[in-house]
Structures are given as C-alpha cells and as structure tokens.
Amino acid sequence: MDYNYDELLKRARSEVPEVRLKKERLEMPRLFVSMVGMRTTISNFKEVADTLDRDPQHILKFLTREMATAATYHDGRAIFQGKFPRDTFERLLQRYMENYVVCPVCKRPDTTILKEKRLSFVVCNACGAKSSIKQL
C-alpha cells in the first residue's frame, strides 16, 4: 500500500468540520429587559438562544432554577415572575455558557448537547471532546 502524504492530508481535512479560528465569534447580543409590574421580560430571548445554539426551553429551565422563580417562553420572549435587573441575567447567562456551551477542553463554543439514557454530554464539534454535564 502506497500512500501519498498530500492525498491523506486532503482526506483528513475534508473529514474535519470547518471551524472559524476567531475567539470573539460568540458575542452575546445585548439583552432587552423590561419590567412591568412584578414581571420582567427579555424580549430578545430567542435571539440569545440562537446565538448560543441551544433550545430556549433549556436556557429558561436553567434561569428559573438559578433565580428560584417561575417563567414562561412565548413568541420569542421570556417572561419572569419578579423584578430582576439586566446584570443578573447577564451573569447567569455567562455561567450557563461556561457550564453548557463552551467546551471544557478547547474552550470553543462549537458544541452540542447529547443525551444518552439519563446522562447528558457536551460534544465539541471542534476538538471532538465529550464531557458530561449536570442534569437540569
């Protein structure tokens, strides 16, 4: 068997998913938080979920548990019971990103959540690492 290095290299590169090298590519959009009475609304919640490439319900479940309050998701908006400032949401979303979005091995945000039986894993599309995550 005679292998040419260039052919093997091209084949290997075609198998690896394309990932941009910029670290700043995961920029959170500014949260549009409004308070009406005893409710706080994030009007661009769907945009935030799309940026993180996660299900809005998963993010909402994390936020409701961390804030110990009830919330609903409707028409791309998240509505929370209670008054909460924007920096609370930003801090909690940063913690969500560290635990459920960014790969613990290569520190890139190119991950997906994979559920196997009762366990959940963050699978990195950049380096291929598979790390277990805490169940929500």
41-60: per-residue pLDDT in tens? 999 999 989 888 889 999 99
Beta bridge partners of 114: 121
Mean pLDDT of 96-113: 87
Given this model, what pLDDT does residue 95 score?
92
Residue 105 has pLDDT above 90, yes or no: no
79 found inside a domain = yes
- Whether residue 134 lies inside any domain: the answer is yes
The pTM assigned to this predicted structure is 0.76
Q: What is the pLDDT of residue 17?
A: 66
Q: With beta carbons less than 8 A apart as the criterion, state whether 54 and 63 touch.
A: no
CA–CA separation, 16 vs 8, rounded Å?
Answer: 13
Average pLDDT over residues 73-84: 91
Together in a domain, 49 and 74? yes
- Note whether residue 57 is domain-resident: yes
Domain with 133 in it: 103-136
Provide φ and ψ at 26, rounded to 5°.
-100, 90
